[in-house]
Structure 1
Amino acid sequence: MSLRKTTVFLNGVKRNIICDPEKDTLATAIRRMGLTGTKVGCGVGQCGSCSIILNGEIVRSCTRRMKNIAENSQIETIEGIGTASNLHPLQQAFMTYGSVQCGFCSPGFIMSAKALLDQNVNPTREEVRAWFQKHRNVCRCTGYKPIVDAVMAAAKVLRGEAIMEDIAFKMEGNQVYGTALPRPTALAKVTGLCDYGDDLKYKMPEDTLHLAIVQPRVSSHAKILNIDTAQAEAMTGVVKVVTAKDIKGLNRVIVPLDHPRSIMKGLERPLLADKKIFRYGDVVAVVVAETEEQAREAAKMVKVEIEPLPEYMNVLDAVAPDAIRIHEETPNTYLKQPVLKGALASDVIDESFCAVEGSFYSSREAHLSVEGDTMQGYWDEDGNLVIQCKSQAIGFNRLGIAYGIGIDPEKLRIIENPTGASFGWAASPGSFALMGACLMEIKDRPLTLTMSYEEHMHFSGKRAPAYSNARLACDEKGKLTALEFDVAMDRGPYTEYSGHIMEKVMRFMGWPYNIPNVTGLGRIAFTNHCFATAYRGFGCLQAYTTSEAIMDMLAEKMGMDPFEFRYQNIARDGQTNINGYPFKEYPMEEIMDTLRPIYQGALAKAKAESTDTVKRGVGIAMGGFNVTLGPGDHAEVALELNPDGTITHYNTWEDQGQGGDIGTLSVTHEALKPLGLTADQIRLCMNDSHRCPDTGIAAGSRSHFMAGYATIDAANKLMNAMRKPEGTFRTYSEMAAEDIPTKYLGVYDTTGTGTPLDPNTGVGDPTQAYMYGAFLAEVEVNVETGKAMCVGMTSVGDVGKIGNILAVEGQAYGGLSHSISFALKTNYDDLKKGSTMAGAGIPYCQEIPDKFDNIFLENPRKVGPFGSSGCSELYQSSGHVAVINAIYNAVGVRIYELPATPEKIKAGLEAKARGEDLKPKKYFLGSDLYDEIEEINTNPV
């Protein structure tokens, strides 16, 4: 190795960098010097998280080799433009305007924006958006609009038209709940001082070992005949190559599946593949070495001998009559759930005035968080195996890992690192289990693992694709009479969270309408594609892909406006959902009344602005989601009075960027209002399994609801203990003097509050609270190329009382931006293309509209902490179908199989010109729907 000393001016200071000029990138060199505010996401110049200013120009430092860095270059990083006590206007504005969620991309955006404002201090919004598009700055959390808002606000300060105080949050009185108070972690994130997983890699002890995974990527389905590690083990620096034979436990990644109709129980996924490769991203070994480079080089030398087996890359092939079993214990279709309401839908549909039918495909969507998978592990002073990672399910993951690696769960400690988002994939314990397995072999040295983005893409789970057939009918007045549907979900080779996903499909098909007769069946099957896991809105998106499209189709056949058709069919008092229960605290009439004039105005605008080559259209979709995991959901928190009069809140409200920190602060401040505490008197100790009670998974829009109620419980217990007979409160010293405990556990449990779905009929009402909404998409379609763009999105949502305005707005912007890309672009079906962010269809700034209008109807809930419900999943429930419906409104082409690529739209336009409809044939999902229903009725569980 030939090294070179390069002298640069780094943040105005002359510094020497010693590097390998051929291998080291500028990002690597900067980060090795301790300036880890420069993040590395994709590693190939597609995300902009590594953006720095080099000699006055913004560059993506992860692709700039040190050999190309001139002597005495001027380099600016996030650490050089402002400090915590002297912020740059961009840093302040990012905090105030909600531009910081997970925060991983924030330093790159701030540096990119600074480069723009250095050149043009008075840009238009579109110039800002074009700049971020050109320089490939990606944010997956915010939908970009709040970032542009922040840049415009900061520019005013730089022009002298405003001062810093004008763009800072101003608290009114002592109110926290319901305000736009920035999240506590925002300051560290905008200054580049927040240490994410890969940043901690540079700050671990000197004797830290590095891990590299071995993904053969030779097949998606094969028998493993031999794994030869000899050559890898002999390489310089290699300490150990861990394979399945080294695993002390079950060698399984455990996510229990307890649905009574499932043969599988959640024990089918190998931690390290031993007998079979089930999918392209499976790992057969992990190399442990002195350096990351040594580990990666050795990983290339692990040889895997295989016997290929038939690969079923979609559910249609997997359920074909001649398909072999992917898991010997069960046919490939391993779970079925019916929904039966009223009379058989087929009989009612045949007798109804009007009916339509269609087949729909909801695609395999990658989460595309900008930060991939990265973690550290070590044994602590109490003999606990510690994994610091991106877990969003600390309690669940402990149990899912412990028995697989062979350790008592009580000795397994999980700590969530500051996390650059996941949107669901970090609910899966698979990668964390790899770290645990290596720690069981290496007990005297700490470990660190950073997957490349390509490794992460092939390893992590995705949104489950779904195929469906459906029919919908109405009477002569347009009142719905019956719905028939048959849905097959592709879960890949593992059952992870299958029961939860299935429940959502079977609850939100046809939501939120009154449909008196329903016959439906949900099926889940194994394939050899990537496994499916949690993703915001899990399950309901696949349902809405079908039901909100077919509602438009039926409205058209009836000659009715799709908005008014929906309005007359939303449920009213006394009417029930497809599971046979009334809707709870139901605001849909108010939501639609609010949206109607906006819809009418958008239609008129679309008509006026359409041209011969660019047609504009408007589409709508109703949406919603439940709150909590249903009966048996459980959350615990603890509140402790400190000697200085402050309060510490302990919980595992995992913060994936959605704002667990500001959520915790807000509910604690509100619950302890009688004490008169200020926000800075509340301390947060979060997401360490051995210091905090288990608050449960950050999923299902449950955290605010469950942790909020648990916090109220803990607050009441603490205040009751502090309260003196005359009504004032004891101090810490008075509590100690009277030997009164100063720490109290708060608990909230939903046992007994709901009815699980009946496995034979689908009747049930599992959850206490819901979110409701409606979405309006405005699109333009170039009829010559088929390219569709969403140019506006409006939502009217009701999530109850808002706990923090920035957090809820952030979930709305972010969720809807995912919906838009899901409709038009994002797709992981092609493994080769899906290895990168761009290939998997991540949307850049100008592909998401700047016209985002989110209207919040705050109807405080009777059941919900401080009147709040949930938030996140609503905004990624059905917005994608609003986009698809808008395309149809624009050019008369319906896209039945997502995403709506230019090729599909162009083909539809050409078919339309020939008088055809490119409707997919009815899918064969394994058996006749009514034969399956009869079998279930004959053999109930």
Structure 2
Amino acid sequence: MSVKKGIYIINGAERVVMSEYEKDTLASVLRRIGLTSVKVGCGTGQCGTCTVLVNGDPVRACIKKFRDIPEHTRIETLEGIGTASHLHPLQQAWIAYGGVQCGFCTPGFIMSAKGLLDKNLSPTREEVRDWFTKHNNLCRCTGYKPLVDAVMAAAALMRGEISEKNLEFTVAEGGSIYHTRYPRPDALYKVLGTADYGDDLALKMPPGTLHMGVKWADHHHANILSIDTSEAEKAAGVAAVLTYKDIQGTNNLGAPMTSKMSLAKRVKEPVLCDTKVRRIGEPIALVVADTDENARAAAKLVKVEYEVLPFYKNILESFKPGAVSIDGEAPNDLLRQPVFKGANTQAIFEKANDPDSGVYVVEGSFYSSRQPHLMLEPWSLQAYYDEDGMLTVNYKSQTLWAGMVNVPRAIGVSPKAFRIIEIPSGASFGASMDHHAVAMIAAAEMVVKRPITWTQTYEETQRFTGKRATSYTNAKLACDKSGKILALDFDNAIDHGANANSAGNLEKKVVRFIGYPYNIPNIRGLSRGGLSNEPFGVAYRAYGSPQCYTSSEQLIDMMAEKLGIDPLEIRYLNCAKEGDLTNNSYPFKNYGIKTMINKLRPYYNESLEWAKQPAEAGWKRGVGVACGGYHVSTPADRSEIDIELLPDGSVVQYNCWEAMGQGASIGTLVHMHEALKPLGLPVEKIKLYQNDTKFCPPTGPASGSRSHYMAGNATILAANDLMNAMRKPDGTYRTYDEMVAEGIPTKYHGEFSTVGLYKAIDDFTGVGDPTPDNNLLAIIARVEVNEETGKTRVLAIHGIADVGVIGNFLAVEGQAYGSMMHSIGFALTEDYCDEVKKYGSPLGCGFPRCNDVPDDIEFEFQETPRKTGPHGSGGASECFQSCGHAAVLNAINNAVGVRVYEIPATPDKIKAALKAKAEGRSCAPERYDFGEDYNKILDEALERARTEQKHVETAEEIEEEIRSGGH
């Protein structure tokens, strides 16, 4: 090893630096000397999280060899530009404009922006966007708009056009911070670069901490004949090598299949593969060694003998007769979820054969892609035994207490001796609902009993983690001549990939959201679930609904075109109104969609006029519209929090409201401040202790738009109990000392539950009322399509959402803007498969850069107060990512007259469709073949409902009960 010694001007001061001449990058050196604001995300120079300034220019430090940097070079990192008491204008603006969400990309963006403003203090918005695009500064959370807003505000402050007061939020005495733009309480340490994410903690672990490497599966599908670890065990620095034989529990993370329409009781998800591998990237062996380099080198020495089996790229292949069971026991065609509403579906579609019937039908087959979450932080975990002997794992878990159930069983540890701590998390969007990595490192810790740290490369994380499950749908829609929907018929299949991580639950989303939020009086449909050898399906924001809207929102447009009706008008005609029932035969919780469409009309009309104006040569303009939404919580949900009065008069809340960047800290803060308003506590007197299962109760997963609703209601219950205990007979409140002196408890538990209040979706019929609330979105997209190249660019998005009373505008807008970026990627560029060279990096996966997302994104909010919601709020996140992609797809068709049925709508697909159109051919795919006839499955489901259930609830009975005051 050659070592280089040099003197560099780092953050304004001379520092002596020792570096490994051949291997060290600028990022590795800066992080080693303690400047951990420099984050390593992709490791390939594509994401910009590692951006620092070198002699004033932005440099991606993860690919810059340190040996190539001359001595006395000026190097600036985020640690050098501001302090907590004297922030740089960019840091102030990032807080004020909601530029901080997960915060992992924040240091790179701020340093890149500083490089711009040091050269040009009066940039235009376009110049800022071009700068971020040129320098590959990527963000998956914000949709970029708040970041550009922050740069413009910081520049105005630096030019003296505004003062620091313009970027400060002032709380009036006794005033509320609910329904305001109050900054996130965790924003400060993120803009300072002092937030320690997983790999930052790895550098700060005690001496003697071990590292972990993994032997990954080399084949998509194979039987394992033997595993030889002998060479790995003898390798340098190795402390232990683990295979499935060393797992002390069940070695199975697979959840039981609870649906009565499931064809298997459980599908395997082994902690370490035992008899077979089901996908590239499954773990076979773990190597624990003294360094990361030694652990990785030894993992490569593990030898596996395989019997290669057929590789099923999708369920269209794995469902064919004679296909090998991917699970080894369970069938590949795993489960079914029917839905029935009304009694006339089949008869209506039969009428369409009669030209005089007045029934019009459109139909098609649609595919939605395996969308990668593309969070920029790779998986990074630590495992150790804490001071009380508890096996502890640091992890970016999105559902902490679920991990406390399935991981201990799989690895063989008592849940009472197990602990998960969520550390600052570089986003998730649903990917870390899975606890496979937790089980792996915890199992290794049980063997070596010395602290272990494990950071994956970005490519490893891409291979290892789940994705949005792909979906195939054959569907047809019937309307009368006016455009009124008469019936919907669909056959859907969800490809869960190599395990059944989300099976059952996801199929129930399909039968709820296809055609939502319209009144469809007659429905006959089926959602199937199955296995393939691709990455497993896992939760992803708007879970299940984007797959639905890929088909139903395009069918609505197809019908409008067939009948010569305006696309917005046909939606207005069919939007659910008071008294209409969901797909599942129960009332909607919110009927505001018609009002929302009316509010959209002025912008829609402007958009139609815009589309008539000539675009630049070769480009055609189009306008697309879509409606969607999502549910809030479930019929078996529970959320718990604790609040405690402290000696100094402050109040602390303990909860496991997981913080992925979506706003768990600001949500907790605003709920607490509002609930405790009678006490007159200043914001500074409210403290948060979050996301440690040793001290914080189960608040439930950060998913399903449930957290703000559920944790908020639990907060109100606990706050009322505390204030009742503090209240004296004269109406004033006791102090902490008075409470203690009188023997009154100072800590109170809040628990809010939906159990028993709502009706789960029936396995046989799809009937049910499974949610306390729902949210809604109506959205318009403006696009331009190049007829020669097939490229699409989205130029504007305008939406109206109803999520109830908004607790914090910065948080909700952040979810909205970020979701639009995901939706654009889903529509145009993102589809993951296991071609490692291409899909192991963000840009290879189609990650949209700043200029790929419009700066013209606007959202209005129709704040219908929720009767059961805390402070009138509902839940927000999911609706924003439900249907935006469908608006883009409809806009493409509006622009050039071709429809893309199988997303993403890449340039080659659009060019092929245009060619087919010119030749008079259809570009629509043939009807997908899922094997067993769905009419037979639906008939059997109805028969089982009649024989296995004492009473099958019908839509007519539900309507009658509603009219009589029930339900």
TM-score bracket for this pair, using the shorter chain length: over 0.9
Is 2:855 the counterpart of 1:850? yes
Runs of 4+ aligned residues of structure 1 deviating over 3 Å after TM superposition are 254-257, 263-267, 609-612
Q: CA deviation at 1:178?
A: 0.7
The one-letter amino acid paired with 1:800 is G
Residue of structure 2 in register with 1:360 after alignment: 366
Is this contact kept in 1: 2:504–2:529, CA < 8 A?
no
Distance 2:266 2:109 in 1: 41
Equivalent runs, 1:293-312 vs 2, <5 Å? 293-312=293-312
The one-letter amino acid paired with 1:791 is L
Residue of structure 1 in register with 2:964 after alignment: none
Is 2:869 the counterpart of 1:864? yes
Q: CA deviation at 1:687?
A: 0.1
Residue of structure 1 in register with 2:698 after alignment: 694
Is 2:566 the counterpart of 1:561? yes
Is this contact kept in 2: 1:823–1:884, CA < 8 A?
yes
Distance 1:200 1:61 in 2: 19
Q: CA deviation at 1:611?
A: 5.0
Residue of structure 2 in register with 1:705 after alignment: 709
Equivalent runs, 1:275-674 vs 2, <5 Å? 275-352=275-352, 353-443=359-449, 445-610=450-615, 613-628=618-633, 630-674=634-678
Q: Deviations over 1:517-536 (max 9, x none)?
A: 11000000011100010000
Is 2:740 the counterpart of 1:739? no
Q: CA deviation at 1:21?
A: 1.6
Residue of structure 2 in register with 1:80 after alignment: 80
Is this contact kept in 1: 2:513–2:545, CA < 8 A?
yes
1:892 to 889, 897, 903: 897
Q: CA deviation at 1:830?
A: 4.8
Distance 1:264 1:674 in 2: 54
The one-letter amino acid paired with 1:364 is R
Is the deviation greater in 667-676 or in 346-355?
Answer: 346-355
Residue of structure 2 in register with 1:244 after alignment: 244
Is this contact kept in 2: 1:254–1:401, CA < 8 A?
no
Q: CA deviation at 1:829?
A: 2.7
Q: CA deviation at 1:164?
A: 1.9
Is this contact kept in 2: 1:93–1:168, CA < 8 A?
no
Distance 1:256 1:661 in 2: 33
Is the deviation greater in 681-690 or in 300-309?
Answer: 300-309
Is the deviation greater in 728-737 or in 221-230?
Answer: 221-230
Is 2:59 the counterpart of 1:96? no
The one-letter amino acid paired with 2:822 is H
Is this contact kept in 2: 1:254–1:404, CA < 8 A?
no
Is this contact kept in 2: 1:201–1:376, CA < 8 A?
yes
Distance 1:198 1:401 in 2: 22
Q: CA deviation at 1:229?
A: 1.4
SS at match of 2:819: helix
Is this contact kept in 1: 2:278–2:327, CA < 8 A?
no
Distance 1:238 1:601 in 2: 67
Q: CA deviation at 1:345?
A: 2.1
Residue of structure 1 in register with 2:268 after alignment: 268
Q: Deviations over 1:95-136 (max 9, x none)?
A: 000010000000000000000111111111010000000000
Residue of structure 2 in register with 1:71 after alignment: 71
Q: Deviations over 1:110-165 (max 9, x none)?
A: 00000011111111101000000000000000000000000000011122222222
1:796 to 800, 804, 814: 800
Equivalent runs, 1:193-232 vs 2, <5 Å? 193-216=194-217, 218-232=218-232
The runs of 5 or more residues in structure 1 that have no matched partner are none
* TM-score normalised by structure 1 residue count: 0.99
Is this contact kept in 2: 1:800–1:859, CA < 8 A?
yes
Q: CA deviation at 1:346?
A: 2.8
Residue of structure 2 in register with 1:181 after alignment: 182
SS at match of 2:98: coil
Residue of structure 2 in register with 1:873 after alignment: 878
Q: Deviations over 1:78-107 (max 9, x none)?
A: 000111111000000000000100000000
Q: Deviations over 1:182-209 (max 9, x none)?
A: 1111000001011111100111101111
Is 2:931 the counterpart of 1:926? yes
Q: CA deviation at 1:558?
A: 0.6
* TM-score normalised by structure 2 residue count: 0.96
Q: CA deviation at 1:497?
A: 2.2
Distance 2:454 2:255 in 1: 23
Distance 1:334 1:176 in 2: 49
Q: CA deviation at 1:264?
A: 3.4
The one-letter amino acid paired with 2:547 is Q
Q: CA deviation at 1:577?
A: 1.4
Is this contact kept in 2: 1:394–1:689, CA < 8 A?
yes
Distance 2:737 2:142 in 1: 45
Distance 1:254 1:745 in 2: 32
Is this contact kept in 2: 1:788–1:902, CA < 8 A?
yes
SS at match of 1:225: strand
Is 2:723 the counterpart of 1:719? yes
Distance 1:8 1:546 in 2: 58
Q: CA deviation at 1:612?
A: 5.0
Residue of structure 2 in register with 1:146 after alignment: 146
Distance 2:141 2:266 in 1: 31
Is this contact kept in 2: 1:256–1:266, CA < 8 A?
yes
SS at match of 1:346: helix
SS at match of 1:619: strand
Distance 1:609 1:414 in 2: 57
Q: Deviations over 1:573-601 (max 9, x none)?
A: 21111111121121011100001111111
Tell me: CA distance 1:612–1:124, structure 2 relative to 1, closer, same or farther (3 Å): closer
SS at match of 1:63: coil
2:787 to 783, 787, 801: 783
Is this contact kept in 2: 1:264–1:495, CA < 8 A?
no
Cα RMSD after superposing both structures: 1.1
Is this contact kept in 1: 2:463–2:834, CA < 8 A?
no
The one-letter amino acid paired with 1:424 is G
Q: CA deviation at 1:344?
A: 4.6
Distance 2:578 2:161 in 1: 53
Residue of structure 1 in register with 2:959 after alignment: none
Is this contact kept in 1: 2:498–2:534, CA < 8 A?
yes
Is this contact kept in 2: 1:257–1:497, CA < 8 A?
no
The one-letter amino acid paired with 1:460 is T
Q: Deviations over 1:408-453 (max 9, x none)?
A: 111110000000101000000001111111111021x211010000
The one-letter amino acid paired with 1:804 is N
The one-letter amino acid paired with 1:71 is E
Equivalent runs, 1:21-32 vs 2, <5 Å? 21-32=21-32
Is 2:139 the counterpart of 1:127? no
Is this contact kept in 2: 1:613–1:783, CA < 8 A?
yes
Is this contact kept in 2: 1:570–1:588, CA < 8 A?
yes
Identity percentage of aligned residues? 52
SS at match of 2:62: helix
The one-letter amino acid paired with 1:410 is K
Distance 1:253 1:5 in 2: 49
Is this contact kept in 2: 1:349–1:481, CA < 8 A?
no
SS at match of 1:75: strand
Distance 2:614 2:419 in 1: 59
